[in-house]
Structure formats: C-alpha cells, structure tokens
Amino acid sequence: MVAKSEKNFKFTEKTRNSYGRNMKKEKTTREFEPSPCAQWPVPHPRRHVANVADSLNGELEPPKFKFGAKENMKTWILLLVLARCSWALISADNTFSDRTIGEFRELLINTKDGALFAGSEGAIFRLWAYNINDTGENVFSKKQLILSETEESECRSTASDEKLCRPSTRFLAFTNNKDSIYVCSSVGMRPEIRVLDSISLQDQQEPRTEIGICVVDPTFNSTAVVVDNGNPEDASSVYSGIRTGMGGENHLIYRPPLTKNGKQLHASIRTIYSDNKWLNEPQFVGSFDVGQHVLFFFREIAHDNSFGERIVHSRVARVCKKDIGGRNVLRQVWTSFVKARLNCSVSANFPFYFDHIQSVKRVDKHGETFFYATFSTSETAFTSSAICMFQLSSINHLLDTGLLMEETANGQFAVTADEIPVHRPGTCSSNSHSISDTDLHFAKTHLLVSDSISGGTPILPLRDHVYTQILVDQLNNQNVIFAFDSSQQKMWKISHWKEGNEWKWNLIETQTLKTSGFRINDVALLPGEFFFATSKAGVHQFSVARCQELPSCALCSMDPYCSWNAVNSKCALKTKTNEKSVGWISSSWAGRISPECSAVEKLQVKDVYLGDGFKIQGARGGTWQKDGRDLEESQRHVATNQGELVILNVDVEDAGTYECTRNGVILMRARVVVHENCARPTSVAEYRSCKREWCKKADAYKAALNIWSDSNKKNVQCKANGSSINGL
C-alpha cells in the first residue's frame, strides 16, 4: 500500500473520487461521543491530495465504503475521527499581542542581533526573536503611531473606508548599516516617512510626508527597497513599485528626488505610467538591490486572448542605479528599464504554466544569487501552485543579450540583432544624459525581451492551494524552503539541493499553523531556529522543526534540523555538540535518510484487541507492507495523506509485522499483537474490547427484537381482522 504523497509531476488520467457517493442518509438511534479532537478543523471530504499528478488532474480514490449498513456507518465515523486527529495542527511556541493596537502586518528581522521588528495598525514593535513575549527593557521597544483627532476627522470625511484612516505601517527596511529603520506608514491616508533608531525606535529625523514610497490601501500590491550605495553621488534612496493617483490608477517604478545634506542633487525618475507597454496593471511582489541594478518582480497583463480574457505573465524588470533619465527624450524617465518573462512551468507537449507570481526571496550562496519565487495559476476553481528558482546570472544574461520585442499594429515581433543600437536598452551608463536621442527612442519602444527566463523544474506543484509567502533557510548542503498558504494557514517544509548538475527536492513535512483562524499577513525567519507569522491576532513564533514528535530514526534523520539519540531512541534538535557525538545520528546529505538508522531502528509493539481501531505512524511517500508483502488498501486498511496506516475493526488476521519503506529504506516498523481471548478480561483494555463486542451483539439483538415486535404487532392486527401475515 502506497501512502498518499507528493511525487514528481506528470499528467495522468483523472481518477475518480468516491467520497460521499451512494451515501444513504439513515437515521440512527445510537449517539456517538464527540471526538477528543473535535476542536480541530474537519478535513473536507474532497480533501486535496499531495500527489502532484493527481493534484492537478483529479484526486486519489479513497477506500470504497457501503454506507447503507449501520455497521459501515460506524466505520466511516471512526475513520473521520482518526483522520481529524491526524491533522498536524501546530500551536505557536509564543504569540505576542497588544490589545491597544490593531492588526499586525509587516515583519523585518536582524538575524545577527536577534531583533524582530513588527509593524501594525497603531504601532511598531521591536521584539526579541528568541522569545517574542520577553518585554524586558533591553530587548523590547514600542513606537506609537499617532493620529490627531482633527486629522482623523478630516480623513473620515473623504475616505471610502474608515479603516484607511487608521495609522498603519506599510513598509519596513534597514538603512545606515542596520543602525536605523526606514518606515513608511499610512497616517490619515497620508504616506508618512520616519527613520527610527533600531534599538530604541526613537525618531532620528523629523517625520515627513512623501508620495510614491508606500500605498495608502493595504490591498494594493506594492514593493520598495532602500538602496544606500551605488546611486548617483552615493546618495541613499528608495526604489518603489507602486500605484499612485486618487484611485491608484498610475502604475510606477519610481525613485524620489536624490538629496544629500538637505540639498536636491537629481530629480525623481519613473516609468511612463500612461503607456501600458512599460507596465500594464502590475502587481508587485518584491524588489532587490543587486550590484549596479535594482530588480523588480511582478505580474502584469501581457495581452488579451481571442475570448477577451486577460492573460497574465510574471516578469522581472531591471533598472540601473546610476540612471538619471535622458536629457531630452525620456526626461526624468528610466533609460535603462528592461523586462522579461519568468517561466515557471511543467514541461510537456503543451506546457502547464504557473503565471501568477505571488512572492519571492533572495538567497546568496557560494558566490551566486538565487531567487526563490512562488507562483500560482489564474484564480479559478482549479487553482494550483508551485515554486521555481531563478539564477541572477541567467536573468542578467538574457536581459543583456536577448532579442527585444517591438510592437506594431500587426502585433509583436522580435527585432534582429543588427537592429539593436550600440547602446543597448538596459545597459548602464555613467551619465545617462549623454545617451543619444536616437538610442533613447529605440529604448522607449523596446522594453521586453522576447525569450523567457527558466525557473527549472517546479518544486512541489500542488492543487487547491496558493503559496502566498516563502522563506528560505540556507544550510551547508541544501536550502530549506518554507512555503505558506496564508488563507488556510498551511506551511510546507521542503529540502532543495543540487546533485551534480541537477536540482532535486523532497517534502519534509506539512503543518497547519494555529494563528487563531486569521490569515497570515507576513512571515520572517531566524535561520535554524524559528519562523514568524503576523495575523490579526498578533505575531506568532514557531520552531523550524518538531523533532520531539518524530517517532523513528529514519524520519528524524531526514529532517535537516533534527538528530536521533540511538541510546534513548528519541529525536531532538540538532546542535553542534550532538551532530558529531557518538550515539547521535543525523543525515549526512540533503534529502537522505542516514544509513545508520537501519542498525538502531527498534521494533514497535502494539497490543490491540478485537474490534479496535488504531493507526501506525508512517511517512509521506512510503509503501506499506505486512510480513514482507505489499499491503492492499481495503475497507479496513487505509493510508492517510500523512502516510499513516489506519486499521479499523481489528481481526485476528491483522496480527503481524508492518513496515513503511521508501526507496528500499525502512522508515517505520511495528509488530501488531492481536489479543483474541475476551472470556476473562484481565485489564481495562481487554474489558473495553469485550464491552465493544457485547455492544455489537446487543445492537444486533435489539434490531432483531424490533423486527420481531413490529411483525408481531402486525400479526395481531391482522388476526383481529380475520387474517394473518402468512395468509396475506
């Protein structure tokens, strides 16, 4: 029996889903006690399946039950109880909240100092990343965002929604070598800029109003990055991807006027918002300071198809920091702007595209820069998601050498290489005022590279979820990806590593995060320790691993944060001490189970009784065997989506040795002992088993008695009428 798991993506015939089919709604007089897990979320009968092939084309077929019989209805209810208890609902290690303020939003972390900064409606907080509930004066600070009554009254008279008037952070970033925090907030629908001390959160400059850095409406997707070095005259500045105007109708990549010591050095610079060839209703998700460039990641409308539907593509755009615009043509407009499509797709005769970029994170490792991004399909009933990785070298190579598109009345086409001028669009210049008008006219109309940038093989394609945020932890031989579905509070932990010239991935675990039922607004990571999530309820702190809950050496060693104690047969967080100590077992390579586990893995023994229902811990992607033979899934033997084996209504034949294996490696072993003798129970468990058997017989007797009683009443009535049942 194969546990339902994430596998390599492929297209397969859509499998049937028989949950709820032919189910007869029968009344029953017996009441079932509520499950001890009744407060946990109940999985929908058409739950998503982690298997990638089925996730996009259908769902794995569950065991077939005949629901007409009363006993089978009991089996179904027992299965639901077991399924509910198997969901990994994880409570936060710590949750920070403040009743005096509103919703928590942005997160910013200084991993060196262990300082976590949280923006919210009404305040900014500095928390200690190792324990966010510690409010000691050395690790905790709070900056109140204040709106006067007059300002609030004026705002409410013009705002479409009173919530927009509340002072609320929109953007947090480090500046001045992380000694200061750059904050953009919406205060009474005015974008307010503050520069705060990173320890005390006291103002280092007088707060000022500045348009173009952050949005008033939090539902608008915008981005910004502080660039302290590489700008003209080495003046510090902010680059933003933003919407401006009363209704947010202007879409810009913007840099405000460059100033130094209170003196303006250069005017502001932007894209042309009136020409949608530059930006066509973009939804920005990230921006990064990279060398002599600033990169922007976003999705935008690429074109309309023949059915009038708007087709969306994901993009990366690049501008040069030294750009100050043209002298005559493209005055105060980017001369270096160029963009290309990001290709995150499953290779096939008809590729399956994930065109909606949702989030992106930068990783600098071994002299190379990578961007991990989450993507989804269009927002339809069949939404699917995946993760793709892009290399900076590939991005720059395509933007520097790729053919450029030209748009005419007859459509778009790529210009030939000899048509591209000497000063190629996207090339950085020490003085953009010196670029000829002819070259700038060409750059103005040739903004898009014809080819796309490949994101490689998609990581963990999944149906019915949208990966809205992503974090990446860099370990020695792998990167650990944390992908989040904010609306469903789900988290996937994935190992990603390079083997030869090929990148590979492996799903480590899936968690449902307990955030009081509120959607996740933002996430941050303290490498090797915790990840954090904000919601309406507060800031939530979670450990990167739940080692103590992993029951076997194989499962423990597969988690890069865990190590197995062979003496105590327990899993614990990996430390520098136990990683190389005798008696501790850790994985020696990414995505691998330590070969030492086979020598120390102990056999679990489960004592069960006739009629019991129980589960054996397993692992996703594992195959179940009993006494060396593959176990077929049946009405009584079910593999859960977590890889566990559920056995219902235990019989004598269920005794034996069960193994969960993956690629020939034993992940879990358990010996099941079935106690048959119920004549003279000697323990509470045996007594309960006998009681269950007695209840079954009593129910059958009552049912037969009711049938006899009904028949007898009818017979008496018939005799009174001069007939009998047999004579009818």
Enter the tokens of residue 438.
């002819």
Above 60 in pLDDT, residue 671?
yes
* Cβ(550)–Cβ(557) below 8 Å: no
Question: Coil, strand, or helix at residue 658?
Answer: strand
Sheet hosting strand 208-209, strand order edge to edge: 168-175, 180-187, 190-197, 208-209
Above 50 in pLDDT, residue 48?
no
Query: How far is residue 147 from each of residues 98, 122, 159, 185, measured CA to CA in Å?
Result: 18, 9, 15, 11
Sheet hosting strand 645-647, strand order edge to edge: 614-616, 645-647, 637-639
Q: How far is Cα 604 from Cα 661, in angstroms, rounded to an integer?
A: 15
Question: What's the pLDDT tens digit per position in 77-86?
Answer: 444 444 333 4
Q: How far is Cα 166 from Cα 411, in angstroms, rounded to an integer?
A: 46
Which pLDDT value is given to residue 516? Answer: 82
Residues of the chain with CATH 2.130.10.10: 220-473
DSSP state of 398: H
Above 60 in pLDDT, residue 661?
yes
Q: How far is Cα 200 from Cα 180, in angstroms, rounded to an integer?
A: 10
Enter the tokens of residue 23.
């189910």
Tell me the average pLDDT across 406-434.
Answer: 89
Tell me the average pLDDT across 4-25.
Answer: 36
- Residue found by looking up tokens 């045996």 in the block: 686
Is pLDDT larger for residue 561 or for residue 308? 561
- Which of 154-168, 561-575, 713-727 shows the lowest per-residue confidence on average (mean pLDDT)? 713-727
Question: Coil, strand, or helix at residue 690?
Answer: helix
- Residue spans of alpha helices (H) in 109-188: 149-158
Tell me the average pLDDT across 396-403.
Answer: 97
Is pLDDT larger for residue 19 or for residue 501? 501
- Taken as a whole, the chain contains a residue count of 728
Confidence of residue 597 (pLDDT cuts 50, 70, 90): confident
Q: Which amino acid is at 75?
A: T
What's the mean pLDDT when you consider all of the chain? Answer: 84
Q: How far is Cα 648 from Cα 635, in angstroms, rounded to an integer?
A: 8
Q: Which amino acid is at 620?
A: R
Which pLDDT value is given to residue 1? Answer: 65
| pLDDT-above-90 percentage for the chain | 57
Which pLDDT value is given to residue 40? Answer: 31
Confidence of residue 641 (pLDDT cuts 50, 70, 90): confident
Above 90 in pLDDT, residue 437?
yes
- Residue found by looking up tokens 């092939």 in the block: 53
Tell me the average pLDDT across 345-355.
Answer: 89
**Neighbouring residues of 11: CB distance < 8 A, sequence distance ≥ 6:** 53, 56, 57, 348, 352
Task: Give the bridge partners for 660, in sequence order.
Answer: 624, 668
Is pLDDT larger for residue 116 or for residue 650? 116
Tell me the average pLDDT across 618-626.
Answer: 82
| Helix and strand totals (H; E) in the chain | 8, 47
| Alpha carbons within 13 A on the beta-carbon side of 577 | 3
Which pLDDT value is given to residue 73? Answer: 44
Confidence of residue 54 (pLDDT cuts 50, 70, 90): very low
Q: How far is Cα 475 from Cα 529, in angstroms, rounded to an integer?
A: 12
- Residue found by looking up tokens 């209810």 in the block: 77
Q: How far is Cα 482 from Cα 471, in angstroms, rounded to an integer?
A: 5
Relative to beta strand 352-353, strand 345-346 is antiparallel
**CATH placement of domain 220-473:** 2.130.10.10
Question: What's the pLDDT tens digit per position in 141-159?
Answer: 999 999 888 888 889 888 8
- Residue spans of alpha helices (H) in 125-169: 149-158
Question: Coil, strand, or helix at residue 672?
Answer: strand
Confidence of residue 589 (pLDDT cuts 50, 70, 90): low
Query: How far is residue 164 from each of residues 185, 214, 381, 471, measured CA to CA in Å?
Result: 11, 13, 31, 29
Which pLDDT value is given to residue 713? Answer: 77
Which pLDDT value is given to residue 31? Answer: 33
DSSP state of 2: B
Query: 3-class secondary structure for 310-370?
Result: EEEEEEEEEEECCCCCCCCCCCCECCCCEEEEEECEECCCCCEECCEEEEEEEEEECCEEE
Q: How far is Cα 100 from Cα 117, in angstroms, rounded to an integer?
A: 17
